[in-house]
Structure 1
Amino acid sequence: MRPRVYITRRLPDAVLSSIEAECEIRMWNESDIPVPREVLEKEIVNADGLFCLLTESIDRALLEKAEKLKVVSNMAVGYNNIDIEAAKEKGITVTNTPGVLTETTADLTFALMMAAARRIVESSDYLRNGKWQTWSPMQLTGQDIYGATLGIIGMGRIGASLAKRAKGFDMKILYHNRSRKETIEQELDIRFEELDSLLEKSDFICILTPYTPETKNLIGERELSLMKKTAVLINTARGGIVNEHDLYHALKEGEIWSAGLDVFEEEPVALDHPLLTLPNVTAIPHIGSASIQTRTRMAELAAENLLLALKQRTPKHVVV
């Protein structure tokens, strides 16, 4: 009997075919609407494998209903949507898709940094709303990127790739990480700083650290107060790393220059969220890895992990 797999979102046809060739599948067919909890609770009961996204909460209560489940394949690098301890207790393999989105996310992070610094979205709206009537010396002026100091919080694969891009702009690069990366320091000519020092010295601060209990609200009122008034804060990691209430007040009061946000604590972010009312916030809908090539490769890798686990072979990327 072929294993049963539940897929929580419509996948590219080629990826879906690779799973269908070896499994009996059921799938939530809405591409832009997360699977309702009650549907997921029903489908998980008889599933041997689950292919899911960050939008699904794979918590202890759900896993307790999974009588046959052998693997949860998460199409993401992060896995804070999954109760890892509960999965471990039940002997369920959890996999993720690191590596393949590194360069694409670094591209987006640098693009968001440039957009927030040079007020790209605000300027586009200014033009489209018919406000562009003349040229004036300080109209829509922003912050220079070339030659500025970049502080990277989280020196993993994406952090290192971002640093390589910044070198092309002759930026001075500082970083903070749980542990020092001396090899990368030498390769890229970057310098380790304690967090407070990095915040004080940097013109641009990019958050690329994983979301963990230790990094929750890592950037709050105290940390924002250490930044330059001209500082630009970029978050392409996870929303909960930055205290959004404190960030709103820092931006509104001019304590920092601007922010570029690809992630929010609650997603999708509510349209009446205070941060979305500020002209110095460039906000985008969690598209860090959203290139056609990368999202396809993520789906392919998640499918490979799923099928290997169902065959009782070691998947390429195992969380637990």
Structure 2
Amino acid sequence: MEGQDLPYVLIDCVGGKHGVYEDHVELLKKHFHLITMEEYLQNKGFLGERITAIYMWHHKPVVNKELLQSLPNLKIVANSGVGIDHLDLKLLASHGVKVSNTPFAVSTDTADMAMALMLASSRRLVEGYLMAVSPDTEHFPADWLGAEVSGASLGIVGMGIIGYKVAERAKAFDMRILYHNRNQRNKEEESAVGAVYCKKLDDLLQQADFVLLSVTLTPQTHKLIGKRQLELMKPTATLINISRGRVLVVDQDALVEALQRKVIKAAALDVTYPEPLPRDHPLLKMKNVIVTPHIGSATTKTRLIMMENMTESIQAALAGQPVPNEVLL
């Protein structure tokens, strides 16, 4: 297929903070004629009619009513990652535009990240590293202790694809697994990982040594964990969040207060609001908090698979075929 015959696909930019990875561009150009937002804005009249898909990498480009009205032949927005709370699904549907994401591509790495955060927090790895490399350290105190992961209880809030993969990993640590979900999994799935269903979130919070948040963003999960929920947790418990920070699954003010007052022992967060946090934010100054820069799916292989999934979704939509990983209202 000649280059000029390839579908026109809108991207934000190449490289930089939000851009498509430079080493992905060569592969994408085999399938699409890529148009950056800068190129589009310079030539709306010509390009607006030709763009049939948006390749959204790290929530960019921003899709709003004005952009949709200028792209009359748009068929699909292919979104990287799982979360789609930055997209107005009703608005897109009203313009006949499909949406896809990449939930299966990110699940393995994100589950690995959950275990990494749990182990790092429980064994105080960041504190230990700082002690080990500090020029002021003269000896390692014998009473500097962490907490056990093996044999502890893990409460998984949101036993979807990622949550279940975490349970599979936790089973290898002989952890007691509790979970809270909108729907109970079947008995075979529960038995495979030794998971016990908690119909009420409160029951899970009261029992778990580690509480892992792995939920999608819905009106029901907005500020799912606040002051009351934190006070239900054990004073020795750790909160781990790998789900969403952008629209607050966790009430961060309540979390800061709970950590300061030792209502819970520690927190390990791969997501925050905003990202990054202001440099003077209290969470960044606490020894019992680990914050990572939303890197749950950030491995070379997974990001390549995400790109391939998005490419397949765009191609299917433009061919009038069922869209892999289509997000439905």
TM-score, structure 1 normalization: 0.90
Partners of 2:207 and 2:65 in 1: how far apart? Answer: 43
Query: In structure 1, what is the equivalent of residue 220 of structure 2?
Result: 214
Partners of 1:312 and 1:114 in 2: how far apart? Answer: 46
Partners of 2:152 and 2:234 in 1: how far apart? Answer: 13
CA shift for structure 1 position 14: 6.7
Do 2:171 and 2:194's aligned partners in 1 also have CA atoms closer than 8 Å? no
- Per-residue CA distance 1:15-40 (angstroms, 9 max, x = gap): 43443234321236xxxxxx9xx89x
Query: In structure 2, what is the equivalent of residue 32 of structure 1?
Result: none
Q: How many residues align?
A: 310
Do 1:145 and 1:169's aligned partners in 2 also have CA atoms closer than 8 Å? yes
CA shift for structure 1 position 73: 0.5
SS in 1 for 2:240: strand
- Per-residue CA distance 1:101-147 (angstroms, 9 max, x = gap): 211111110001111111111221223332422132322x2211111
Alpha-carbon spacing, 1:110–1:27, altered in 2? closer, same or farther (3 Å):
same
Partners of 2:326 and 2:320 in 1: how far apart? Answer: 13
Partners of 2:12 and 2:180 in 1: how far apart? Answer: 36
Read off the aligned partner of 2:114 and give its amino acid letter. T
Read off the aligned partner of 2:206 and give its amino acid letter. E
Partners of 1:118 and 1:266 in 2: how far apart? Answer: 27
Partners of 1:216 and 1:116 in 2: how far apart? Answer: 25
- Per-residue CA distance 1:74-108 (angstroms, 9 max, x = gap): 01112111110001111001111111221111111
Read off the aligned partner of 1:160 and give its amino acid letter. Y
Deviates more, 1:67-76 or 1:15-24: 15-24
1:20-35 superposed matches below 5 A: 20-27=29-36
1:1-320 superposed matches below 5 A: 2-10=6-14, 11-12=20-21, 15-27=24-36, 45-46=48-49, 47-56=51-60, 57-139=62-144, 141-183=145-187, 184-193=189-198, 194-239=200-245, 240-320=248-328
Q: CA RMSD in A?
A: 2.3
Partners of 1:230 and 1:182 in 2: how far apart? Answer: 31
Alpha-carbon spacing, 1:205–1:44, altered in 2? closer, same or farther (3 Å):
farther
Alpha-carbon spacing, 1:295–1:152, altered in 2? closer, same or farther (3 Å):
same
User: Is there any run of 5+ residues in structure 2 with no aligned partner, and where?
Assistant: 15-19
User: Is there any run of 5+ residues in structure 1 with no aligned partner, and where?
Assistant: 29-34
SS in 1 for 2:103: coil
Partners of 1:78 and 1:297 in 2: how far apart? Answer: 16
Do 1:54 and 1:79's aligned partners in 2 also have CA atoms closer than 8 Å? no
Deviates more, 1:16-25 or 1:193-202: 16-25
Alpha-carbon spacing, 1:144–1:58, altered in 2? closer, same or farther (3 Å):
same
Read off the aligned partner of 2:28 and give its amino acid letter. I
CA shift for structure 1 position 245: 0.6
Do 1:155 and 1:176's aligned partners in 2 also have CA atoms closer than 8 Å? yes
Read off the aligned partner of 2:193 and give its amino acid letter. L
Query: In structure 1, what is the equivalent of residue 17 of structure 2?
Result: none
CA shift for structure 1 position 42: 10
CA shift for structure 1 position 307: 2.0
* Structure with more relative contact order (C-alpha pairs < 8 Å, separation 6 or more): 1
Do 1:6 and 1:43's aligned partners in 2 also have CA atoms closer than 8 Å? no
Name the % identity.
35
CA shift for structure 1 position 61: 4.6
Read off the aligned partner of 1:49 and give its amino acid letter. A
Do 1:9 and 1:52's aligned partners in 2 also have CA atoms closer than 8 Å? no
